[in-house]
Amino acid sequence: MWFKNLSIFRLTEAFTLSAEELEQKLAALAFRPCGPHEESAFGWTSPVGKNGQQLVHSSNGFMMLCGKKEERVLPSSVLNELVQEKILETEEKQGRKLGKKERTAIKDELVFELLPKAFTFSRKIYAYIDTKGGWIIADAASAKNAEDLLSLLRKCLGSLPAVPPNTIHKPAMTMTQWLSTHQTPDDITIEDECELRSPEEAGGIIRCKRHDLALPEIKNHLDTGKEVIKLAVNWADRLAFILDEHLAIKRLRFLDLIQDQVADIETDNDAEKFDADFSIMSLELSQFLPRLLELFGGEQQA
């Protein structure tokens, strides 16, 4: 359950629904498996897992949600081969070349025929709403997955005033200064990974992993005008992660100070463990997120 990525959205209006009210709205789009001729299905499922009944798991003002997406696997290479075979067969029978619309119709017919036989795979996207802090946090490695989840939530709620956070100082500029001077705030430690990009359009990119970022070669790249667009950092020996120029966080790790708290809690079943982990994680991130914005000059007011 521990989030590994953070896609962060600021609620521009107070979120006033209770967990019970939100549960009722999500029920309208509860997950159901793909139908025989559906390529995908997307809906809400219990974040606790197969033993959970509720679509919203609430703890200390934080509400956890889980979107489940199921897709049918119809490899394009296989489909294209079958389409070409069918087109050639039809052209030989009719003694003429098929037009574009006819070729498209053949493809559509094959998709309709093959979809019910295709395997399916599913994935889950977790997110939680911090009603006190005014955040929605999605455990999504890509911006598209996060936006898909927010779109599903908007369908249930009618509207959802949530936008990516906007800081006064650009993260890329601040991270470049950190790496160039090796002077960081007291609670930030630079680790061993970064990504540098030239500012010009389609500029070159340098990626460094498991690398001493204090070496002169890194400084040389920065002196030629490259800027830091991703940087591995440690916050207060509590969290370690890759931060990018859009304030998205990847490969998040909760360090020993947090894991020791987890180890001290005894639980009797999976549901209790989920609740304990969620409580610790959400409280930790509620302290971290305001600090994250402070590092870049604070939040830009709309």
Do both 63 and 196 map to the same domain? no
Q: Answer yes or no: do 152 and 18 share one domain.
A: yes
d(CA 210, CA 300): 34
77 pLDDT more than 90: no
- Helix, strand, or coil (residue 49): coil
**Would the pLDDT of 195 be above 80?**
yes
Residue 7's beta-bridge partner residues?
Answer: 138
pLDDT digits (tens, 9 = 90+) for 138-193: 999 999 999 999 999 999 999 999 999 999 999 999 999 999 999 999 999 999 99
Q: What pLDDT score does 118 carry?
A: 85
State residue 302's pLDDT score: 63
Which domain-ending residue is among 129, 163, 197?
A: 163
Strand, coil or helix: 272? helix
Question: Residue 90: which of 237, 99, 50, 215 has the closest Cα?
Answer: 99
pLDDT band at 30 (very low <50, low <70, confident <90, very high): very high
The answer to which of 13-22, 40-49, 104-113, 144-153 has the lowest mean pLDDT is: 104-113
Do 287 and 197 sit in the same domain of this protein? yes
Residue-range definition of the domain harbouring residue 263: 171-294
Domain presence at residue 221: yes
In a domain, 204, yes or no: yes
SS3 10: strand
* 195, 234: one domain: yes
Answer whether 174's CB lies under 8 Å from 296's CB: yes
Task: Find the Cα–Cα–Cα–Cα dihedral 137, 140, 142, 148, rounded to 10°.
Answer: -80
Instruction: Examine residue 95 and state whether it is found in any structural domain, yes or no.
Output: yes
Residues 181 and 87 in one domain: no
CB 298 within 8 A of CB 272: no
Same domain, 12 and 158: yes
pLDDT at 291: 98
**Of all residues in the chain, what percent carry a pLDDT higher than 90?**
74
What does the block give as tokens for 76? 């394009």
Separation of alpha carbons 241 and 189, rounded Å: 11
Q: Which residues contact 128 (CB under 8 A, 6 or more apart)?
A: 62, 63, 64, 65, 136, 137, 278, 282
pLDDT confidence bin for 86, thresholds 50/70/90: confident
Q: Would you say residue 301 lies in a domain?
A: no
Residue 196, pLDDT > 70, answer yes
Average per-residue pLDDT for the chain: 93
Query: Do residues 13 and 64 share a domain?
Result: yes
Residue 90 has pLDDT above 80, yes or no: yes
Top-ranked range on mean pLDDT: pick from 2-11, 31-40, 92-101, 112-121: 2-11
Q: Is residue 197 pLDDT above 90, yes or no?
A: yes
Q: How confident is the model at residue 25 (pLDDT cuts 50, 70, 90)?
A: very high
Answer yes or no: do 14 and 136 share one domain: yes
How would you class 28 by CB atoms within 10 Å of its CB: exposed for 0-12, middle for 13-18, buried for 19 or more? exposed
Residues 224 and 203 occupy one common structural domain: yes
Query: Same domain, yes or no, for 201 and 285?
Result: yes
Give the least confident one: 199-208, 233-242, 268-277.
Answer: 199-208
User: Does a structural domain hold residue 289?
Assistant: yes
For residue 4, name the pLDDT band (cuts at 50, 70, 90). Answer: very high
201 pLDDT higher than 90 = no
Q: Could you give the number of structural domains in the chain?
A: 3
Tens of pLDDT, residue by residue over 271-293, are 899 999 999 999 999 999 999 99
Beta bridge partners of 30: 44
Which of 62-66, 94-98, 126-130, 240-244 has the weakest average pLDDT? 94-98
- How much is the pLDDT for 228? 97
Q: What is the mean pLDDT of residues 32-55?
A: 91
State how far the alpha carbon of 48 is from the alpha carbons of 43, 56, 198, in Å.
15, 9, 44
Q: What does the pLDDT average to over 239-266? A: 95
Residues 135 and 244 in one domain: no
For residues 164 and 115, which has the higher predicted lDDT (pLDDT)?
164
Residue 130 covered by a domain: yes
Shared domain check, 145 and 27: yes
> What angle, 0 to 180 degrees and rounded to 10, lies between the N-to-C axes of helices 19-26 and 143-157?
100
Does the residue 2 lie in any domain?
A: no
Q: Evaluate whether residue 287 is within a structural domain.
A: yes
